[in-house]
Structure 1
């Protein structure tokens, strides 16, 4: 019996030992550290640009050097490295003019060793066919290319041109997600495009699944099929860096994402935002910085190891191979695009002695801006040149801050510099650059446009307006949609005349800005309306029918309007040294100014306030009167006794 007890104890010990060993063996091993090199919103910035301090920033030719240095540094620490981009890699310089034929952007990302990118709204600036042509050109080049991930596109709305883009996406092998195997790690990367980004691509023709729905679906699939160590989202949706925005909401709504690289809003996040176990990061636009994020896992949770935003500036050496690639693309731009304008890439248009607002600060404050004035004036100049003897006076030329993509530094201004300022889109002719359009709106709608500038800009900074031919004033502290206090038309001789509500005024702006007029209704909750009209006052169905053309029938592009105006001056005119009073912004809390000449919105708000005060007064005084009556009755009772 003692023998049996000994055997049983021996067997039990062995079972316990094996069980504990099995449990030890089954304990998951934490994955190694991962370094993520990332950019977003690089917008074709192959070459460095001048900054306001007299230095330079950005440029693929320097970014390539920094990428190599950081990969080497990670290798020395035995860390796995992936290189990712958050979309909007195109549209921002003259290199975009060969977007559809040479795909310089994707080929540059491939040459710099990027593993994955996603598609932003500006990849659709040349519409569905343009994106399709670019993807096919990239594939046909035979060059190394990054993978493209996009998880929330659904069937294109325009099935004719949509077929071409669907075929191109399949040809390039665009997928919901991809898995990178790097130094023993499995890194899953997926991409989404947000609601605001989609609104900023009015010609995309794409339908989108909500980003949170798409992310939940894809994360579940990745976990089920791929056994990932890390899951990274390339989200072209955006955040403001303070816990607001679509990507903050995405992280909060979806479990299991380790890192969100947040593009679209050109945000620079100095310290990663951590929400729901997800790190949200952004490094700013135009290759100003290279984001370097290192993460680890502890008990299945993502932990921040290190985070840096490395400036891409004049302290970084040019990479010879990327410099050679950029120069080859530049020659192609000269030959295939600029030759049609009789211009070259580095040709000097004029000399500038003034400090214009840096693009990093442009539109941040509601105020008149000399660069905005210069651009608006260039539209008037270009229309006069194009129409010649048939010129119909432009009453108001206007540019929105959202389409101004670069500033002008002191010194020589080149063709490339001018293009960078107004570098977006294409026209009905399919060639690069948004054209000018000439339409009519009523004086009442013109006043609503000034109210858009005053009231909508705080909700959507891209809506801030700069104009030529009109002046307006507003107080930022007045009631929303009733902030404008004064406005007038400025005639060519400088005379100011009142704006008549029922009169038609000719307005010139860029095609994209004209297309975005439809958002005014939504952003103002239907309180403001602007309807582009023809010269007879009839609403316009297709803005492209009102594109401004030159004598030879070519579209007058926004960028060329600016370039030709600068060239006509030779030296930037002194009128652009300081604001001229075209827009006057008050921030006064003076009660008289706040209620002076109130509109119906302010009157309604005042009436509501009076009503609320009256109700409160009634509620307060009624019990007092009741208590007073009870006290009086008690007093009289005591008197009778």
Structure 2
């Protein structure tokens, strides 16, 4: 419900109440027992603190943390609200945050007034000790993981309840089961991620049946549209995340209120606000309306940024500018991530891209230079590439923005069959991203049939014109993330003679660009 419609509704309610006072005092008492409040949500913020400078802001423009705070206040004026996120607050972050270990973002989220958050897969990037220590300790709000266990025991709180005017609002947080594949497996050793829908339903049942909650909101770090139909009648509202999509819908249910669900894209581009009316006499929700706000709306663009957050972001930007200004090399042409037709760069991780291939080349060349090893193949995962590389001067900031995760680079031996199996594993049906295309260094080529059955799509693969021999051994350079089987490339974890070269992924790309990077054609 928009701010203006909300004001209209309040005015109408006041008029009705005044009429009822004269003729029907009982009805007036019932009106007094209807509580209006809202639950506000963002997802996949990833440390995008700064506003995107543009003369023509649209729905895809980043508003930045300071305007986001102003918008939160704007849509919730004269109304109680609870501020939430659906995970990936930090990790894989914008340069302004990544270069400072996400400390600015952890500060800003507290200033934003976040009340509760689901845990995202990127909160596990540096392992569960970092999550339970640094991230949890620096967050003035609970991070929930109802489907997360450590050595068989709950690792995080399953739910959180906050009361507004006598209405108990329960939140259940969950994270995608693919977390185990999206971070280095060594970072989550002993951690299990069960089905997020089942875990939410179970906790929602407990909250409602025990009387701990009147309303249950699911904060799920997984694609809302894909999973919404699985929630039971005790889940009233769902805010999704993880897949960086914008979506919204309503699912009608027999004998219960409809499930209202939404997902707010990424990077603070969209603020979601669920206006809820709850009747304490009947114990039922009377209405839910979710509105998604973005910079294409004139009233949003006109808001003055919050002063306190503006100051914190400015300090972070100044520090990042100083640290990132060093020019590391030159690019004679820009390189890009994969994209869907008509969509922005990076919108499709399932197609080959010049930038993925460039980083694969960098892994191969830099490891060979540093160690003297004869490296046959470099590999890069598309999910680890978070921005494009410009033509001309390339700075440290550019490179770290492209690769913000800080994975170590290593090399070792894989069989030809391991490599072929990794090619087949690019297709991952049933996931929110059914294909994850690997970047492969120059000289490696393969043919495939995308219509073939799972596991039988690769027709042929060659290295420097020679067919890959399934029984032969090849020296491969890539991140420890992939050698741990990350992104569900399990066969890469079969690596033998693994050697960590002691370099971070961004420094390897730095070195490659400094040495005069060559871009693969295609």
TM-score calculated relative to the size of structure 1: 0.65
- How do residues 65-464 of structure 1 correspond to structure 2 at under 5 angstroms? 65-75=67-77, 78-93=78-93, 94=95, 95-96=97-98, 98-99=100-101, 103-135=103-135, 137-138=137-138, 145-156=140-151, 175-182=157-164, 185-201=167-183, 202=185, 203-204=187-188, 205-208=190-193, 210-224=195-209, 228-239=213-224, 241=225, 244-245=226-227, 247-249=228-230, 251=231, 254-269=232-247, 271-274=248-251, 276=253, 277-297=258-278, 300-301=284-285, 303-311=287-295, 315=301, 319-329=306-316, 344-350=323-329, 353-354=333-334, 356-357=336-337, 361-362=345-346, 364=348, 366-387=350-371, 391-409=372-390, 412-424=393-405, 433-453=406-426, 455-456=427-428, 460-461=433-434, 463-464=436-437
Deviation of the 1:283 alpha carbon: 0.8
By how many angstroms is 1:384 displaced?
3.0
- How far apart, CA to CA, are the structure 2 residues paired with 1:185 and 1:45? 33
**Partner residue in 1 for 2:457:** 483
- Relative to the length of structure 2, the TM-score reads 0.78
* Equivalent in the alignment of 1:502: 471
**1:278-308: CA deviation from partner (whole Å, max 9, x where unpaired):** 2221111222322233344587356443422
Structure-2 change in CA distance of 1:450 and 1:225 (3 Å): closer
Corresponding residue SS for 1:154: strand
What is the rounded CA distance, in whole Å, between the counterparts of 1:312 and 1:511 in structure 2? 41
Higher helix share: 1
Tell me: CA distance 1:568–1:126, structure 2 relative to 1, closer, same or farther (3 Å). same
Relative to 1, partners in 2 of residues 1:275 and 1:462: Cα closer, same or farther, differing over 3 Å? Answer: farther
Deviation sequence 1:380-432 (CA, Å, 0-9, x none): 23213322xxx1121111112222223335565432231122222xxxxxxxx
Cα distance per residue 1:238-297 (max 9 Å; x no partner): 34x3xx23x542x2xx2222211112222211x324254222211112223222333445
Partner in structure 2 of residue 602 of structure 1: none
C-alpha contact (below 8 Å) 1:379/1:436 kept by paired residues: yes
Q: 1:365 to 1:85 in 2, by over 3 A?
A: closer
Output the CA distance in 1 between the equivalents of 2:308 and 2:30.
Answer: 47
SS at 2:132 equivalent:
helix
Distance 1:410 1:287 in 2: 28
Any idea what SS the aligned residue of 1:466 has?
A: strand
| Structure 2 runs not aligned, ≥5 long | 1-23
SS of match in other structure, 2:67: helix
Instruction: Report the equivalent of 1:621.
Output: none
Query: Residue 54 and residue 507 in structure 1: after superposition, are their counterparts in 2 closer, same or farther (change >3 A)?
Result: farther
CA gap of 1:447–1:210, structure 2 versus 1, over 3 A, is closer
Task: Single out whichever of 512-521 and 105-114 deviates more from structure 2.
Answer: 512-521
CA change 1:233–1:365 in 2 (3 A) is closer
> Taking CA–CA contacts closer than 8 Å with sequence separation of 6 or more, which of the two structures ends up with the larger relative contact order?
2
Q: Distance in 2 between matches of 1:227 and 1:23?
A: 28
Deviation string 1:76-115 (CA, Å, 9 cap, x unpaired) is xx4332221111111123434554xx84433211111222
- Contact persistence 1:401–1:461 (CA under 8 A): no
Residues 354 and 30 of structure 1: is their aligned pair in 2 closer, same or farther, counting only changes over 3 Å?
farther
- The SS at the match of 2:148 is coil
Shift of 1:506: 0.6
**Structure 1 unmatched ranges of 5 or more:** 1-20, 140-144, 335-342, 425-432, 491-495, 522-528, 536-544, 549-554, 580-641
- Which one has a larger percent strand, Structure 1 or Structure 2? 2
The answer as to whether partners of 2:413 and 2:473 remain within 8 angstroms in 1 is yes
Check conservation: 1:402, 1:461, Cα contact below 8 A: no
For residues 297-350 of structure 1, the C-alpha deviation after alignment (integer angstroms, 9 at most, x for no partner) is: 58735644342241499957654432432344467779xxxxxxxx92233334
Q: Secondary structure at the match of 1:256?
A: coil
- Cα pair 1:194 1:237 within 8 Å, conserved: yes
